[in-house]
Amino acid sequence: MTRAAAGCLAAGTLAAALAGQDFALFHTDLVAKGHVFTQGPAWSRQGFLIFSDTPSDKLLQWTPGREPAVFREDAHGPCGNAFDSEGRLYTCESRTRRVTRTEKDGAVTVVADRWEGKRLNAPAQIAISRNDHAYFTDPAFASQSAHRELDFYGVYHLPPHGAMKLLVRLSTRPTGIALSPNGRVLYVANADERTVTAYELDRAGDVTGQRVLVSSIDGVPGGMSTDEKGNLYLAAKGVAIYSPEGKLLHTIPTHEGASNCAFGEADGKSLFITARANVYRVRTDANEEK
C-alpha cells in the first residue's frame, strides 16, 4: 500500500518544528494489515521487524519488500518484544504469564515466570539496554485479574547475570517501558494513573530516584520508545512525543489508537507503530537536509 493510501494516519505528512527538532514531513507507510490486535514491535539487526498479534497467538515477521509472515504460532498471547545485543528475542507471554527468550538456534528459554514462588500476573512490555539489562512490566487486565497470585503489580529487572529483581511494587498497573539512550533512566507508563514515571538507575541497574515525567495523558498509555536525542515516544490515543524533560513536542495521530512503537531499520530512523489491526512505518528523517 502506498503512502497516500495509508489513511489511518491523519496524513502522509505532518508539519511541526518544535523544541529545536523538526518533526516535519513524517512520511508514513502501512506495512501490515488485517490482524486482530498488534503489539510489541521490535527490530532485529538481521533486517526484519517482529511484532505480536496477541489474540491470534502469533508472532509475525516483516522484512522490507516482503509480505508479513508467521514467525511463531502458538505464541501464548505474545505482547511486548525486544532483542538483546546477541540478537536473541525476548517476548512477554500474557497467557502463560511469563517472559521467554528465543535463542539463536530457535530454542525457547523461560527467563521469568515467578516471583517468590508465585506466578507473575501477565507480563506486558519489555525493554533491554545496550549492555543487556532487561526490564519488564507485569500488570493484569480483564480476565487476567481473576487468576492473580501476587497482590501487587510490578516492574522487574533481569540483569545479564544473577537473579531477577523486583524494582517497583505498585497498586496500579504499569504498561509501557523504555530506557533513555544512555541506559540511566527507565520510563514506565501507568494505565490507571495515565502517567509516565522516570526512574533513575545506578550502574547495577537498580532504582535510585524517581519523578513523574508526564501526567494527564490523552488516552491509555501503552508501549514506548526513545530516539537518539532522548525524546520519548508514547503510544496512547496516538503517538505522543515528549522531550526528556517531559514537554509535549508533537503527536502523531492514529485513527485506531496506538498500542506500541519502536525504532528500526539500518539507520534507526523508522518508527514502527502498532495500531490494532495494522502496523505502520513512519520515517522520522523526512525533513533532514540531504
pLDDT in tens, 12-40: 333 233 333 454 457 889 999 999 999 99
Which listed CATH number (2.40.100.10, 2.120.10.30, 3.40.190.10, 1.10.10.10) goes with 17-283?
2.120.10.30
This prediction's pTM: 0.90
d(CA 37, CA 14) in angstroms, rounded, equals 25
pLDDT in tens, 78-111: 999 999 999 999 999 999 999 999 999 999 999 9
Region 143-149 average pLDDT: 89
- With beta carbons less than 8 A apart as the criterion, state whether 187 and 175 touch: no
d(CA 121, CA 151) in angstroms, rounded, equals 9
pLDDT in tens, 185-197: 999 999 999 999 9
- Bridge partner residues of 110 (DSSP): 100
- With beta carbons less than 8 A apart as the criterion, state whether 259 and 222 touch: yes
Domain boundaries, the chain: 17-283
**Concatenated DSSP letters of 190-255:** ETTTTEEEEEEE-TTS-EEEEEEEE-S-SS----EEE-TT--EEEESSSEEEE-TT--EEEEE-BS
